[in-house]
Amino acid sequence: MAEELTSVEICAGAGGQALGLEMAGFGHEALVEIEPPACATLRLNRPKWNILEQDLLEWSGKAYKGVDLFAGGVPCPPFSKAGKQLGAEDERNLFPKAIDLIDEIRPKAVMLENVRGLLDAVFDTYRRDVETQLQKLGYTPGWRLLNASDYGVSQLRPRVIFVGIRKDLAEHFHWPVPNELMPPTVGELLKDLMAAKGWSGADEWAARASAIAPTLVGGSKKHGDLIWGQREPVPHGLRWV
């Protein structure tokens, strides 16, 4: 049996990426997240995970030196078209801290995700600077815009993925190839769940939900928490389904 791969994740949120990495065979050594409701969700769903509820800027990764993967979803607002795209000038830009942690931990691989706006021409210099810093640390870097719907997810979810592979391992990495088949529609995917308690309108609903879902837009501390389509407080711990 193959040995389990290890990972450290920063800006873990409520665990979407962490859950995917778990499904891909990674065991989480630590997940760092500053927001209490997100940490409550992580603890509720994975009580055995090592959840570190603290400010990333004050965290050291020395205890996790040499893990297989350093992952995270650093804040998007500095690069989002919905904001001012301040990039390096935005107080929420955590790429510099991420690079410091990569230097400290020296993982075999790095994976960071962000919004598609990061590939805009205005950030060409910024991306080259990130690449140069990772190259100096001994990694082969690359950026790619991936859409979740190309890989079986019934949602339009384009994200920029940054990958850095330690140079002696880089030849073994290949970007995923999109599926040839379209993912199921929202109706096809969720019809059984919608009808689970006997709702008579499930068939009609499924017929109308005949496409993949749009991107679900969240919020930030500066824009409010947009949950369930309206401004509401975030529940303290959400059960994954």
- Let me know: does 53 contact 11? Beta carbons within 8 Å: no
Q: 3-class secondary structure for 31-50?
A: EEECCHHHHHHHHHHCCCCC
Query: For residue 69, what are the contacts with CB-CB under 8 A and spacing of at least 6?
Result: 5, 6, 7, 8, 21, 26, 107, 108, 109, 110, 111
DSSP state of 118: G
Q: Which residue has the higher pLDDT, 55 or 89?
A: 55
AA identity, residue 93? N
DSSP state of 4: P
Which class does domain 5-172 fall in?
Answer: alpha beta
Q: Which residue has the higher pLDDT, 115 or 19?
A: 19
Q: Is the dihedral of CA 96, 99, 103, 105 positive or negative?
A: positive
Mean pLDDT of the chain: 85
Q: Which residue has the tokens 């997240």?
A: 33
pLDDT-based confidence at 80, cuts 50/70/90? very low
pLDDT at 230: 37
DSSP state of 16: H
pLDDT at 85 over 80: no
pLDDT tens for residues 156-212?
989 999 999 999 999 999 999 999 999 999 999 999 999 999 999 999 999 999 999
Task: Taking each helix axis as running N to C, give the angle between helix 95-105 and helix 124-136, from 0 to 180 degrees, rounded to the nearest 10.
Answer: 10
pLDDT at 228: 34
Domain spans of the chain, in order of start:
5-172, 186-231
pLDDT at 2: 61
pLDDT-based confidence at 240, cuts 50/70/90? low
pLDDT at 234: 47
Which one of 12, 31, 76, 109 is the catalytic residue? 76
Q: Which of 162, 160, 143, 7 is nearest to 70 (CA)?
A: 7
pLDDT at 32 over 90: yes
Q: Is the dihedral of CA 203, 240, 77, 36 positive or negative?
A: positive
Tell me how far apart the terminal alpha carbons of the chain are, to the nearest angstrom. Answer: 29
208-232 mean pLDDT: 61
pLDDT at 225 over 60: no
76 is a catalytic site residue = yes
pLDDT at 36 over 80: yes
Q: Residue 90 has which token pair?
A: 């935005």
| pTM, full prediction | 0.82
pLDDT tens for residues 118-158?
888 888 888 898 899 999 999 999 999 999 999 999 999 89
pLDDT at 221: 56
pLDDT at 86 over 50: no
